[in-house]
Structure 1
Amino acid sequence: MAGTVTVTGSWSDPYIGLPWQERGLTRDGIACWGLCRLVYAEVLDIAVPDYAAKVTSIEERAEVAAVFAEGTMAGPWRSVPEAQVASFDILVFRRAGLDAHVGLVVTPGRMLHITSGQDSAVVDYTDGRWAPRLSGVYRHEAMTEGPRVL
């Protein structure tokens, strides 16, 4: 797949190749937000809410998107300038007019993510289909004293 990058010796290695499953939360089948939750729990020991579990309609998807929408930040997420991205920041992308896809920064320019019908992978988010869709970068408040690099 174009844009896929093999990163060796990274915290992301154990999360590459996981199978996609709508609203999935485990290694047996996972969605984009489930992947972020799994990494945050296992690598950072930070529990984050399961926003995606509540998504059953486009209206609810909009409510979940509002969590990351500029100006309506709620909970533990803080906006980060794109020029200051760090490992474990959440990248939010617009799909179907909503902030409805997320990935995790591995290194600046590379993200761990999963999308429908594909296994999780590390890809370049600075070009191709992802760059024009990037709508924001967010850091968990537990990480605001500085990013962890593992």
Structure 2
Amino acid sequence: MTQEPSWVGKYIGLPFVEKGRDFDGVDCYGLYWLIRSEEYGETLPMFLENFSPEDVAYIRGLIAGRLDAWRKLDKPEIGCGVLLKVQGQDSHIGVMIGPDTFIHVNDDANQVHKDRIGGLMWPQRKVVGYYAWPGGAS
């Protein structure tokens, strides 16, 4: 059994804030951005375009238009992003904290929480892939 990173606890419970990129609140990409910045010292683009969380088709376009800049991983690594389908669109990202466990936030849950790939909410078919910003996931 893989132990989750020691930093996970400080992100659990952070509130959902549209376009949030700090400890006052985050959106799904903001959580990934904050973890990569705080825990790995990486500088990632902020992606603060004008969109709302409900606009999954627009978000999918943002992701598709920039996905080639990311490094696709063969399997999940601690701290990498997991791209997920929502309403049939590649439009949600979480952060892997174990082989099948990730943390994420959305406007439905209203706070960062743990979830599991392969569970009822996130079956394997909803996983688009695992990604890292160039420079590594771990």
TM-score range, shorter chain: 0.7 to 0.9
TM-score by length of 1: 0.76
TM-score by length of 2: 0.82
Which residue is 2:76 aligned to? Answer: 85
Matched, 1:56 2:51: yes
Matched, 1:113 2:104: yes
For 2:24, the aligned partner's letter is D
For 2:73, the aligned partner's letter is V
Corresponding residue to 2:129 among 136, 139, 147:
136
Give every structure 1 segment of 4 or more consecutive aligned residues whose post-TM-superposition deviation is greater than 4 Å.
Answer: none
Gap regions ≥5 residues in structure 1 = 1-6
Q: Number of paired residues?
A: 131
Q: SS of the residue aligned with 2:37?
A: helix
Does the 8 A contact of 2:71 with 2:133 survive in 1?
yes
Corresponding residue to 1:74 among 56, 68, 84:
68
The RMSD of aligned alpha carbons is: 2.1
Change (3 A) 1:137 1:55: farther
Q: CA deviation at 1:140?
A: 2.5
For 1:89, the aligned partner's letter is C
Q: SS of the residue aligned with 2:10?
A: helix
Q: Deviations over 1:69-102 (max 9, x none)?
A: xxxx432x11112xx2110111001112321100
Q: Percent same amino acid at aligned positions?
A: 23
Gap regions ≥5 residues in structure 2 = none
Q: Deviations over 1:101-138 (max 9, x none)?
A: 00011011110111114210122122112123111111
